[in-house]
Structure 1
Amino acid sequence: MTTVFGDRDIIVVDLGFGDAGKGATVDWLCSPNADLDVAAVVRFNGGAQAAHNVVVDGRHHTFSQFGSGTFSAVPTVLSRHVLVEPIALAAEARALAGLGVPNPLQLLHIDAHALLTTPIHVAANRAREDARGDDRHGSCGKGIGETAAYALDHPDAPTIGDCHRPAVLRAKLAAMEEHYRDLLSPSIHRSPDLDDMVTMYSEFAAAVRITDDGDLAALANSGRVVFEGAQGVLLDEWRGFHPHTTWSTVEPTNAHALSAEHGHDSHVLGVTRTYTTRHGAGPMPTENPTLGAVLPEQHNDTGSYQGTFRIGDLDEVLLRYATDVCGGVDSLAVTHLDAVTRAAAAGIPLRSARRYPGVGHLLPLGPWQDLTHQQHLTDILSALTPDTAWLPTHRADVAAHLGSLVSAPVVLTSDGPSRAARRVREPAAA
């Protein structure tokens, strides 16, 4: 794989609505199979709502805040762009220890500037989503959007570094609790006692490595870095389809910047399924519930806040849009190639949306940070029925087709969830 990536950092981004296989891809890149000498996995967006499934030698874990290279003992850096939830992080560490990972917390490096997600944020997030009723946005209910929104209006929002300063942290938590007093119902949405939270966060700070840059500078000096994205580009806070978006920059701008800070060049590896999926509310032009019967999801189901896991045919218009949002991708990983033959064997061959009536092959890009424009795109996607065509029925042909759509070589494919199902495809020489 070094012939593909050279000595560059690798930025792994999901070119859909999430669940494309980023975690399994990162696990493989960090494994001995790839021989890439990865020094660290850096999380560059999102928070505890991430759910990256990795299957290795009979072990399965859904990575949330730990990097998906953990089974290969690759350290995780939670950068300043990540929203860190220590309670969930401690629970994830216990789960990993139960799977044979020795002392998982010692693999963590956390940037002190990362925002702290607390039970107060979680309770506020769920209260707002409950109040929306049938108009829910599709939130995971993990407090991510609330953490980001509160910090926009409150420069003194709590950070991971505050876990080392109990008095400062308690004052910030008290101000937050007062801010949310009218929203939170004491009988339904409650947060723990402030003193208990401060004690817990102080213990967390003593158990993990917290530094001004998450130790990224030192780790980057010792080898290649893999940047692991969370969610999918189609859920990006400014490029996604408002209001069904995440409060996070999913496209690779921040990862490029972090890599450049340490003098590295970076390579963007896009990840896509052979069909479209999304969790919960929001437009999905190619939704095809019939596919759910023949393409069951082993590791994805309905979330209490996020909603139903939905399946549809491939959407080439959205795949092109996501690639353009990223500024292009350097290579492609195609997952779930086995779905091509499974669907065909069941008499429901996969289709793909080639164009949208009245729109064509491309959605209009930008202007960024214009929610009116993004709402306009949401309205377009919600109202149309795309023009579709059959996908090829041979896996290699489907992979080649997807590579041509994004104008990038396919360098990795998979026929299932496990590490053993990954296949390297060396691109032809230029």
Structure 2
Amino acid sequence: MPAFVVIGGQWGDEGKGRMVDLLAQDAAIIARYSAGDNAGHTIINHMGKFALHLVPAGIFYPDKVCLIGNGVVINPAVLLDEIHQLEERGVSTKNLFVSDRAQVLFPYHQMLDELEERARGDAALGTTKRGVGPAFVDKIARRGIRMADLLEPDALRARLEQVLPEKNAVLVKLYEAEPLDFEELFDAFVKFGCELKPYVRDTSSIVCDALDNGEQVLLEGAQGSLLDVDAGTYPFVTSSAPSPLAAGAPIGIGIGPTQIERVVGVYKAYMTRVGAGPMPTELDDETGDILRREGPAPEFGATTGRPRRCGWFDG
């Protein structure tokens, strides 16, 4: 049975998490395939309210396998915090697995994200300052560090010895910031690797085997179509690679494009956007404020808590 994809048709925050939570009942595997902890899903079920940034929404079904694919950037501290919070509230994570090819987000990514955004001044993009953009830059520039590297201290040391001097040079010489200590960073991420080792797998093989066995696979999108770097409102878009479009799903989870059977696009009855960028139908008045505060759900970002800009549906 081929896979199907759930994507957002706007600028994110359309309710994808709720839709995935409903559709997950019929799937054997639920997988995230793009973005990082800059995207958030809010899930409300019989166990309460949960805001997830990396763990797929299907985690609340104990008989489902949940995957974080190779197209996702992983902040190990955030992932471990989500795992611990879920376990503390009685949600099992024994069927959660993370791709060994997923890129790792480091503190220098977060520092650079914030410093770059500050340097843009009035031209700021409105990033979440989580470091996801700079992490994807490193991925494309072939200087990223992957989850598999965290499991091998010698490999991690070799990669950090290549990358950290360059990052520190930029931090110190360009932004006059403090450099990061190599040994402190290395020790912290070796520890992360030890804690996350039980979750790290070749997730592409897991998905391919499930599809070969006729099982249904649900691919969970993040962000929204209008944030795609090519199809969106550039430069006010995401750096995520693969794209938040459905076309990015097979790349971000490691399957062929012909294995996608259908795509579910999720839209909200009105538009919202977090951060800078054009929004033709924005309501910068009392009506917009009413939508934000008294609409179907409070319109504040699940990741940053920032108020969302609200406007009429723009088809």
TM-score (norm 2): 0.87
Residue in 2 that maps onto 1:173: 160
For the 8 Å contact 1:46–1:81, the answer to whether it is kept is: yes
| 1:148–1:259 CA distance, 2 compared to 1 (3 A) | closer
Residue in 2 that maps onto 1:325: none
Instruction: Give CA deviations for 1:87-107 in whole Å, capped at 9, x if unaligned.
Output: 1100111121232202x2x22
Amino acid at match of 1:170: R
Residue in 2 that maps onto 1:402: none
Matches within 5 A, 1:27-176: 27-31=21-25, 36=26, 38-57=27-46, 59-73=48-62, 74-102=64-92, 104=93, 106-153=94-141, 155-176=142-163
Amino acid at match of 1:291: T
Residue in 2 that maps onto 1:399: none
Instruction: Give CA deviations for 1:208-265 in whole Å, capped at 9, x if unaligned.
Output: 1322636222333361010100100000122111111101211111324658539744
Amino acid at match of 1:215: I
Q: Give the superposition deviation at 1:293.
A: 3.2
For the 8 Å contact 2:13–2:272, the answer to whether it is kept is: yes
Greater per-residue helix proportion: 2
| 1:259–1:194 CA distance, 2 compared to 1 (3 A) | closer
Unmatched runs of 5 consecutive residues or more in structure 1: 1-6, 317-430
The alignment of Structure 1 onto Structure 2 pairs a total of residues equal to 302
| 1:303–1:183 CA distance, 2 compared to 1 (3 A) | farther
Structure-2 separation of matches of 1:12 and 1:79: 15
For the 8 Å contact 1:139–1:305, the answer to whether it is kept is: no
Residue in 2 that maps onto 1:270: 265
SS in 2 for 1:180: helix
Unmatched runs of 5 consecutive residues or more in structure 2: none
Q: What is the alpha-carbon root mean square deviation over aligned residues?
A: 2.6
Higher RCO, 1 vs 2 (CA within 8 Å, ≥6 residues apart): 2
For the 8 Å contact 1:170–1:194, the answer to whether it is kept is: no
| 1:89–1:260 CA distance, 2 compared to 1 (3 A) | closer
Residue in 1 that maps onto 2:189: 198
1:9 aligns with 2:8: no
| 1:263–1:223 CA distance, 2 compared to 1 (3 A) | farther
| 1:77–1:156 CA distance, 2 compared to 1 (3 A) | same
Q: 2:276 aligns with which of 243, 265, 281?
A: 281
| 1:140–1:173 CA distance, 2 compared to 1 (3 A) | same
For the 8 Å contact 1:17–1:277, the answer to whether it is kept is: yes
Matches within 5 A, 1:211-250: 211=202, 213=204, 215-220=206-211, 221=213, 223-248=215-240, 249-250=243-244
Amino acid at match of 1:247: S
Amino acid at match of 1:202: G
Structure-2 separation of matches of 1:191 and 1:277: 37
Structure-2 separation of matches of 1:189 and 1:300: 36
| 1:217–1:13 CA distance, 2 compared to 1 (3 A) | same
**Which of structures 1 and 2 has the bigger CA Rg?**
1
TM-score (norm 1): 0.65
SS in 1 for 2:169: coil
Matches within 5 A, 1:334-353: none
Quote the sequence identity (%).
26
Amino acid at match of 2:3: D
Structure-2 separation of matches of 1:130 and 1:18: 24
SS in 1 for 2:145: coil
Residue in 2 that maps onto 1:208: 199
For the 8 Å contact 2:150–2:190, the answer to whether it is kept is: no
Structure-2 separation of matches of 1:199 and 1:16: 39
